[in-house]
Structure 1
Amino acid sequence: MPSPVAPASPATPTAPGRSVRDRILDAFEDLLAEHSERAATLEAVAARAGVSKGGLLYHFASKDALVDGVLERFAADLERDVEHMRSAPDGPVSYFLRTSIPSDNRLERVIVAIARLAQASDARASDALADAQRLWLSELEAVVGDRMVARTIMLIGDGMYYNSALLPAANAVLRDETDVQQLIALVERLSARD
């Protein structure tokens, strides 16, 4: 998946069925994605999650513990995403390219949050993003049978994300679903195994 920078929608602190721990992590991810690592203070996270600072510290003793929590959830989200990619009805290449278009989903939100941590020089975050990229690349390579073709598909996905997320009003590259479908068909023809 491309390096996202699009803002995510705020979490609802009182969302039914969400544990306090998940609400805190949602709030931390949202603050990271919407602002920066510096804006995601313990006080701001507690306020966004609708808990006291003491309640936050009960679940996460420090900001580092919050980062660890986000990275743990990301690992689980990534595992689910790769499973969806493997079992996608239209195939992994189509799935990867379609999910390279911003959709404001949970996985995208956590990737944006982790990218903000990486921008603040958190090596754990940088490593998590690199691991995710390697995993997606490995899945694509397994399907197309060629590492360079798999890398090219990843770069196309990155370009799709960039154009959709950063240039939405000026995006003349992928104008509609027909363009997306034609691009996927072209990439699949070019990457088909003999």
Structure 2
Amino acid sequence: MTETTTPNVRGVLRRASIIDAARALFSEVGYRGATMAQIAARADVTHAGLLYHFSTKDAVLDAVLAEHRERTAVLAETPEGDGDYLDRLDRVVAQNANEADWMRLSSLLLGEAVALDHPLHGVQETRYQDLERRITTGLLGVSHQPHDNVALAPLARLLIAAMDGLQLQATLTEVDAARAARMRSDFSVMIELIRARLDTV
């Protein structure tokens, strides 16, 4: 039993180390700036070992982003329990503010994806559409006044712009505790403004 499971465990750990190495490399030089050879070297695996787990750089990127999607899955449903949907968004920003590597990676990939031929161009377009829909639905549950999706969609887009914009500003210099705290504080101001707008007809 041990003999058959050990290689599997080793393979899982090796795959995870490749994803970690790729995430770090992408956050430093972007997707376009990274090569499969650099990813293999960073993960301390042979090129053949890398290809065993990921046949292309796109496949490596997909795996890195899959982890990121799991981290942001908190936006997938209207929140329950402690706080409302805006409180949930506030917590997501607070969590991201303390993880400089993820913020840098997200900002780099978002900037690269502006190019029409980038593999993430369509992905990012779909991401914005999906986030707008989810946040708009979430805001319907927060508002104490009657609103419809058309009226709330601009507020959803402003929230997305604030999240991405504050993240980009935070990554322009080394992210320290003070900068992360400012990012959280600034987003809290946006939350207050959105709450005030929701309470008006």
Smaller-chain TM-score bracket: 0.5 to 0.7
Match of 1:22 in 2: 16
Q: Following the alignment from structure 2 to structure 1, what is the Cα–Cα distance between the partners of residues 112 and 165?
A: 22
Q: Does 1:59 align with 2:53?
A: yes
Query: Please, which runs of 5 or more residues in structure 1 have no aligned partner?
Result: 1-15
Question: How many pairs are equivalent?
Answer: 176
Q: Shift of residue 33 of structure 1?
A: 1.2
Report the CA distance shift for 1:116/1:40 in structure 2 as closer, same or farther (over 3 A). farther
Report the CA distance shift for 1:69/1:178 in structure 2 as closer, same or farther (over 3 A). closer
Of 112, 125, 128, 1:130 maps to: 125
Match of 2:192 in 1: 185
Q: Is the 8 A contact 2:76 2:134 kept in 1?
A: no
Task: Give me the TM-score of the superposition, normalised by structure 1.
Answer: 0.67
Report the CA distance shift for 1:27/1:166 in structure 2 as closer, same or farther (over 3 A). same
Match of 1:154 in 2: 160
Match of 1:12 in 2: none
Q: Is the 8 A contact 1:24 1:56 kept in 2?
A: yes
The CA RMSD over aligned residues, in Å, is 3.8
- SS of the counterpart of 2:17? helix
Q: Following the alignment from structure 1 to structure 2, what is the Cα–Cα distance between the partners of residues 65 and 181?
A: 36
Q: Shift of residue 58 of structure 1?
A: 0.8
CA deviation string 1:41-90 (max 9, x = no partner): 11111111121111101111222332343344444444x23247734733
Report the CA distance shift for 1:136/1:105 in structure 2 as closer, same or farther (over 3 A). farther
Q: Following the alignment from structure 1 to structure 2, what is the Cα–Cα distance between the partners of residues 34 and 139?
A: 31
Q: Give 1:189's aligned amino acid.
A: A
Q: Does 1:94 align with 2:87?
A: yes
Counting aligned pairs with the same residue, the percent is 23
Report the CA distance shift for 1:96/1:64 in structure 2 as closer, same or farther (over 3 A). same
Q: Following the alignment from structure 1 to structure 2, what is the Cα–Cα distance between the partners of residues 18 and 106?
A: 23
- SS of the counterpart of 2:30? coil
Task: Give me the TM-score of the superposition, normalised by structure 2.
Answer: 0.65
Q: Is the 8 A contact 1:24 1:49 kept in 2?
A: yes
Match of 1:31 in 2: 25
Q: Shift of residue 165 of structure 1?
A: 3.1
Q: Of the two, which has the highest radius of gyration?
A: 2
Query: Please, which runs of 5 or more residues in structure 2 have no aligned partner?
Result: 1-9, 141-151
